[in-house]
Amino acid sequence: MFHSSYIELSKSALQNNITFLKQQIGPGVKLSSVIKGNAYGHGIEPFGSLAQQCGVDHFSVFSADEAQRLYAALLQPATIVIMGFLDNDELEWAIQHELEFFVFEPDRLEAAAKTAKALGKKAVIHLELETGMHRTGFDTGYLPAVQTLLNNYSDHVHLKGICTHFAGAESFQNHQRVTAQLERFIEQVKQLQATGLQAEQLHTASSAATISYPQSRFDLVRVGIMQYGFWPSPETYTYYTSQNKEQNDPLQRLINWKSRIMTLKQVAQGDYIGYGTTFKAPRDMVLAIVPVGYAWGYSRSLSNQGQVLIRGHRAGVVGIVSMNVLTVDVTDIPDVTQGDEVVLLGKQKDQSISVASFAELSTQLNYELLTRLPLNIPRLIVD
Ligand SMILES: *Cc1c(COP(=O)(O)O)cnc(C)c1O
Sequence-distant (≥ 6) Cβ neighbours of residue 65 within 8 angstroms: none
Show which residues are catalytic. Answer: 36, 275
pLDDT at 358 over 80: no
**DSSP string spanning 297-334?**
T--GGGTTT-EEEETTEEEEB-S---SS-EEEE-TTST
- Highest average pLDDT, of 105-109, 249-253, 264-268, comes from 264-268
> What is the CB < 6 Å shell around ligand 1?
34, 36, 83, 165, 206-208, 222-225, 232
C-alpha span between 283 and 306 (Å, rounded): 20
- In the chain, what are the domains? 10-243 (3.20.20.10), 255-353 (2.40.37.10)
Ligand 1 atom nearest to 207, measured from its CA? 9
What is this structure's pTM? 0.93
Closest CA to 68 of 46, 53, 90, 40: 90
Q: Which of 18, 21, 33, 83 to mutate to test the pocket of ligand 1 (most atoms within 8 A of CB)?
A: 83
Supply the residue whose CA is at minimum distance from atom 13 of ligand 1: 165
Contact 61, 80 (CB under 8 A): yes
192-224 per-position pLDDT tens digit: 999 899 999 999 999 999 999 999 999 999 999
Name the residue of 18, 25, 34, 128 whose CB sits within 8 Å of the most ligand 1 atoms, as the mutation to test its pocket: 34
Give per-residue pLDDT as tens, 117-137.
999 999 999 999 999 999 999
Q: Compute, in angstroms, the gap from residue 35 CA to the centroid of ligand 1.
A: 9
For ligand 1, what atom is nearest to the CA of residue 367?
8
Cβ atoms of residues 369 and 355 within 8 Å: yes
Instruction: Give me the mean pLDDT over the 310-324 stretch.
Output: 97
- Reported as a single tens digit per residue, the pLDDT across 86-113 is 988 899 999 999 999 999 999 999 999 9
Protein residue closest via CA to atom 1 of ligand 1: 224
Spatial CA neighbour of 10 closest among 42, 38, 40: 42
